[in-house]
Amino acid sequence: MHQCVLNYTINKSILLGKGGFGSVYLTQNELNQEFACKIMQNLEISRSLSQSQNNQRKLKQLVDRELSIMSTLDNLNIGKNDPFIF
């Protein structure tokens, strides 16, 4: 997971809803850093979900193949409960 390295200072107090007289607002550069950080986090989450979906798809393919093999083997044993006739 991408980690954001942000130095929280009194300048960040506006993010906590403590605006008003005497507050120091975030600069545009600080806001850009915050947004860039969130975008990187979202990309990492998206990548992780995509990998998980790929793993699920591969697992389903393996299970489907196993079921197909079992079905084929079952079909080859037609009349398996009938006694052998010599």
Do residues 4 and 40 touch, judged by C-beta distance below 8 A? Answer: yes
Cβ-count burial 3-26 (b if 16+ within 10 Å, e if not): eeeeeeeeeebeeeeeeeeeeeeb
Cα separation, 77 vs 54, in Å, equals 35
80 is in an annotated binding site: no
Return binding residues for ATP. 38
The binding site consists of 38
